[in-house]
Structure 1
């Protein structure tokens, strides 16, 4: 007999199947077994190539952003402070997932300790929530810069930026904290096999021999309220920004002003569109293979951290110029 529970990510659902024949009798597993991408085991080694490439690009790109902003004092502004926060978030998010995923693909190292699994679960969910909060902070910065340009330096002072950053971090850390706390307290008596590439919160708690409805309801609330409210505030900010842009007297002025927030728009689209596509796939693509769902979930978590520094490097003149100058000086 086959049951099909659903694995909740922050923002989307990933179905997976678990056979009753896998059930066993234990209450506190010392380790879990991650299967990677079920159904694609024979090509795990080949899949490691694009995943490793994405990881290298994400690491190099985000460290480059941090280095350039730290080195160039002219970039010590709220927009670039938030960009550094995004880069750090992307670095932590990719490093929380990719090393273990690559060890599964390359060395068939599927075991992960119970505590390490809960830690990975916490970091992934926490930094997804943080990243969404950073997008709201970036939208606020663009709103003040375009709609209240004369007051930008007095409104978004360094202490205010620091408080916004602290609020983003605390929100993510506190809202996600119940996941590992509840998961550690519950008894486990089914299986220690997780048919996924990392420790997803609901993939773990579905193995518990307890009433997990409170966790499911809480997860849905965090997913839809937090992400939903963040998208709402971003949309309101850009409605006001577009109204201010269209009131400008000339086309050149409108294009130039819109260009100052084009990078942020591209980053938001690169982050939220894969998530939306993943949600739609899981809601309406019931006949889609399980490995496709897991690939989409990994793409949702791994592709944006790779694209963010590329987008800002290409679309932001200040970063692009200083990056070219850096390589030119090295070449000389």
Structure 2
């Protein structure tokens, strides 16, 4: 593994805006290098290459504390209402994020909305109650959102296509624990993991969104991107996988009965969700606008536009066969 450049700096940090329910907030988002995901088996994920390795716990704490200090500086500068801290794994796993670092971040977020990620394995009532109480200010402000990578409500797809190590029943139990402890739930869904046709992936997202609406507070649909050094990349190089069409992404967003945020990483590129190249920019801009304004009519208007690749997408949706190579690239 190559030496890590600037190990005391977060992998990324930026400010922006986020829609949470019916309100738009200023936000600071950071991706902090940590001890890394303990599961480390998902077919689509490259985060195993963004962890600290070969260091003891004291050095891990030192390096993570330096990154959190950088976050603190950004918070003081921006004064955000929302703080999102991503660790390429589970925030509540003490081997990935030592408890002293967890506590530091929770205190930084006091009185604000904090969003962190975790596998269900590391969620329990006592831990979440403590975290929620730490975030709450004297006036009662402050909320904790825990993002869970469910990916799909279909257990077969999640295990055979992604290797997530999670059952839908585990997710449902965890949402109950979080809510009873005073926290809130954000759920990630993955649009078009490997081995699904374009139509199968579309139908899976439509069904999964409908399934989780009663138990989650926020939904984020992530169109699959081909990350480097992954099983998915091998399939892609063999022309055995194509990321979803942006037409499919827009179609899901246009018909859902709940607001679903979507950030098509690598959108318009061959490794990311894309169409023909001519209409990609327009659709991506519309999706970004929809994320903030929740205007479903905007997404419906996208589907009414015409482009030479729309008929290709319609053909793929109708004729692509399961257990076969993708029709297009």
TM-score, L = length of structure 1: 0.24
Pick the structure with more strand per residue. Answer: 2
Where is the helix percentage greater, Structure 1 or Structure 2? 1
Larger Rg belongs to: 1
Using the size of structure 2 for normalisation, the TM-score is: 0.24
More relative contact order, 1 or 2 (CA 8 Å, 6+ apart): 1
